[in-house]
Chain A
Amino acid sequence: MAALLQVEGLSKSFSGLRAAQDVSFAVAEGGIVALIGPNGAGKTTCFNLIAGVYKPDSGVVRLGGERVDGRRPDQICRAGIGRTFQLVKPFAGMSVLDNVVVGALNACRTVREARSHAEKVLKILGLADKRRQPAASLTLPERKRLEVARALATKPRILLLDEVMAGLTPTEIDRMVELLKELNAKQGLTILLIEHVMRAVMALSLRVIVMHHGVVISAGTPDEVTRDPVVIECYLGEEAL
């Protein structure tokens, strides 16, 4: 399968600290790829570089062959990259439905169309009965789902999920995993996710990329990377080998 998202030699430094260094990977169309690594490995930085929050010092980001690096976040969203935030950012004063309508407006021509699309997305995410509540009244798992709903409503070609499982109970994690699997299978949605919850990574990902200190140290199937000595060392220390 052709690569939908291609990242080549992406680098970013923050006043001397190299947050991402020559990062390269590709996400195939219709694939699910997980980006894992210890805290501070540069995963979220990579997301922000792809989503246009930061401009890369060097490197190229391609979506469907077209260069998107250096564009603004709203332009990148319109190009087809939807993203969620690790620290959820609901529009607290707006209703759950209106939150999703904002995302849907990206892909719909009229507000009416956006509302009906948003209703559909809320149904998929299981938030339909909460649609009239203010987003501020949602619980954390619901807020995580709202993040996914909003990003999904923009009709992205690829969805970037930043730790959507963190803080969820095992049952909620299973539910989210099922949901993402379904979106991937039924709608052919390509997903790139940052995740610490290995249970979810193992269940979801066809391919795993491991980062450490801003560098990609390993890549492969979930089984391969968990057996890779370099990965084990960076997670558990040298003695574990």
Chain B
Amino acid sequence: MTRFLGGISRRDWMLMLAVLTTFLAAPWFANDYLLTVLILILYYAYTGQAWNIMMGFAGQLSLGHALYVGLGAYATAALYVHFGIGPWAGLPAAILIAMACGAVIGFLAFRFGVAGVYFAILTIAFAEFARIGFDHFRWVGGSAGFFLPVANYAESDLLNLRGKPVMFYYVMLGLTVAAFILCHLLLKSRIGYCWQAIREDEEAARALGVNTFRYKMYAVVISAGMTSVAGMFYAFFYNNLFPEQVFSIGRSIEIILGPIIGGVGTLFGPIVGAFVLTALAEGLSDVMLVLGVEVPGVKQVFYGICLLLVVVLLPNGIWPPLAKALGLDRNPDDKRGV
């Protein structure tokens, strides 16, 4: 483990252990509502981490990541409802579908030189294709929605992902930790160096022997596969899927807000960003409730203000200056404040 996670100072280890212990112990002192908020935080931390691979590491802006969430959600849900295949057994199929879809988008873009904002538009377009397509896809309910059987479960059935919030909480925590470790390992490997080189200057990367097409394809395929796992979670946690919601551009934006607020290209950024955004937005809802004020769209306005403040005051996100304040940026082998 130490070898795998090499390049991390003792201080970082202590901090990560403390955070992890807090999260592990949370269900003992959190009520169901708080637990749901924590699940949401972890969900956005996970999806943000997956998105960060494309934008933060390889510099490819995707604004359509809801597509992969949706594909993962619909694939695992359909396999469960129609064939009785459990979510974990169906997950490989869902991941493959999302990866294939990512590969098609990546191939079209990178083969034909679609880059920057045009690439971002292409990702939106595919998410929209999926939204409209699934609206008419009767096998999974079309626009009327697709529902998983719901019942009150006394026991948690981890294999079929049926049970109480606390089980979902630990599943999401496990996924988030796994994503963090995976991203850390990727960054330290050949693939991570090549991604960062592409992000910084593609022409220079190419001149240094980096096959930029191949590495950009890796980024989009890995990111798509990882994101689809969150889709499985989404389907079995919420038990209902509507194309209008799952594939909407709003969902894609929600995924990218965490890493942007937290710090694009850093390992801790997506986690910190998800925490700040979700905790504050939910806290605000609570305050409004207590005050008896009911204003629709407050959450959105709050997101907007947060984004504005971060863009203006902390252009690199919250994490880099936070890491500096905590004395965590002195590790010589680290990249970009990770």
Contact = CB atoms under 8 A, between A and B. Distances in A.
Interface string B105-117: 0000000000000
B207 A111 contact: no
Contacts of B194: 102, 105
Contacts of A114: 190, 193
Contact of A98 (B209, B265, B335): B335
Nearest to A95: B335
A89 interface: yes
Given A93-B265, A132-B332, A77 B193 contact: no
A73 B212 CA distance: 10
Interface of B: 188-190, 193-194, 196-197, 199-201, 203-212, 265, 332, 335-336
A105 B188 CA distance: 12
B209 A74 contact: yes
B201 A74 contact: no
A77 B200 contact: no
B196 A98 contact: yes
A26 B235 CA distance: 65
Nearest to A78: B209
A106 B336 CA distance: 23
Contact of A154 (B196, B208, B265, B335): B208
Contact of A111 (B189, B208, B212, B332): B189
B208 A93 contact: no
A105 B190 contact: yes
A89 B197 contact: no
A53 B207 CA distance: 9
Contact of A93 (B200, B205, B207): B200
A37 B193 CA distance: 37
Given A74-B206, A93-B196, A111-B189, 5 more contacts: A74-B212, A91-B197, A92-B200, A93-B200, A150-B204
A125 to B, nearest CB: 15
B298 to A, nearest CB: 36
Nearest to A156: B209
* Chain A interface size range: 20 to 34
22 contacts: A51-B207, A53-B203, A53-B207, A73-B203, A74-B207, A85-B203, A90-B200, A90-B204, A91-B204, A94-B336, A95-B335, A98-B335, A102-B193, A102-B197, A102-B208, A103-B209, A105-B210, A106-B209, A111-B189, A111-B190, A114-B193, A132-B332
A89 B190 CA distance: 20
Given A102-B194, A111-B189, A94 B200 contact: yes
- By DSSP majority rule, is chain B's interface helix, strand, loop, or mixed? helix
B193 A93 contact: no
A94 B204 contact: no
A166 to B, nearest CB: 18
Contact of B211 (A74, A92, A93, A103): A74
Given A98-B335, A111-B190, A91 B203 contact: no
From A74, A78, A105, A132, name the one whose CB has the most chain B CB atoms within 10 angstroms.
Answer: A74
B200 A91 contact: yes
B208 A106 contact: yes
Interface of A: 51, 53, 72-74, 77-78, 83, 85, 89-95, 98, 101-103, 105-106, 111, 114, 132, 150-151, 153-154
Contacts of A111: 188-190, 193
Contacts of A94: 196-197, 200, 335-336
A73 B196 contact: no
Contacts of A154: 208-209
B206 A91 contact: no
Given A98-B196, A98-B335, A85 B207 contact: yes
Contacts of A132: 332
Contacts of A53: 203, 207
B18 to A, nearest CB: 27
A85 B208 CA distance: 11
Interface centre among A53, A73, A114, A154 (most CB of B within 10 A): A73
A233 B7 CA distance: 60
Contact of B207 (A73, A92, A101): A73
Contacts of B193: 98, 101-102, 105, 111, 114
A191 to B, nearest CB: 16
A154 B193 CA distance: 14
B204 A93 contact: no
Contacts of B203: 53, 73, 85, 89
B209 to A, nearest CB: 3
B89 to A, nearest CB: 35
A81 B163 CA distance: 60
